[in-house]
Chains A and B, each alone.
Chain A
Amino acid sequence: EAGVTQFPSHSVIEKGQTVTLRCDPISGHDNLYWYRRVMGKEIKFLLHFVKESKQDESGMPNNRFLAERTGGTYSTLKVQPAELEDSGVYFCASSQDIRGEQFFGPGTRLTVL
């Protein structure tokens, strides 16, 4: 079992461009979470899927961010257009139960120039 995987590991883009991050959760995990860590700050919740349904997207910064989980398997997080303040590490996590241990991916480091 590879665990939660994320692609790419790093992405450097210019302001105004579009970037799509991908997360593959552990097989069988219905719960999928996206988080972001901006340098020196807390790991901030972005949103939570149960299967293909968004249950809580209260942490999404604005409408430049779009998350999808078609078919309830992998998820994508698209940022369009990217701004400088979007730079950070984006983590994905999955869990079997909503109250259970979350298993994290290695993160995608996004740099917007």
Chain B
Amino acid sequence: AQRVTQPEKLLSVFKGAPVELKCNYSYSGSPELFWYVQYSRQRLQLLLRHISRESIKGFTADLNKGETSFHLKKPFAQEEDSAMYYCALYTGGFKTIFGAGTRLFVKA
């Protein structure tokens, strides 16, 4: 079955601490993975995708096919990173599958 799992509903860290939001996927084909973010009172928007290998707002994510993971990391969290983060899997058809999301709260 095609599935995206984000095991943490809420992640709370202090400003300046490292942060890692976990994402695991289940897909038999070659996956394309994305991280979307929704800041308070804003729309859901793309943060990064694995094929572009970018670092956006200090966040990076590496696709690990062996562990079927695509964890989102940032070495030093900022208060403005507080948001809802969704991992998403494009399965090659016409469907994108989203995880349940992780709410990141960065404390001052």
Task: Return the CB mask of A79-113 against B: 1 if under 8 Å, else 0.
Answer: 00000000000010100001101111111000000
Total number of A residues with any Cβ neighbor in B under 8 Å: 27
What number of residue pairs across chains A and B have CB atoms under 8 A from each other?
48
Which parts of B52-103 form the interface with A (CB within 8 Å)? 86, 90, 93-101
Chain B contact residues, majority secondary structure = strand
Residue of B nearest to A44 (CB): B98
Q: Are B96 and A45 in contact (CB under 8 A)?
A: yes
> What separation, in Å, do the CA atoms of A101 and B4 have in the docked complex?
18
If the complex has contacts A56-B95, A102-B96, are A42 and B4 also in contact, measured as CB distance less than 8 A? yes
Residue of B nearest to A106 (CB): B43
The residues of A with any CB-CB pair to B shorter than 8 Å are 3-4, 33, 35, 40-45, 48, 50, 55-56, 58-59, 91, 93, 98-99, 101-107
Q: Can you give 15 A-B contacts (C-beta < 8 A)?
A: A33-B96, A35-B98, A40-B100, A41-B100, A42-B98, A42-B101, A43-B101, A45-B95, A48-B94, A48-B95, A56-B94, A59-B95, A101-B46, A101-B49, A104-B44
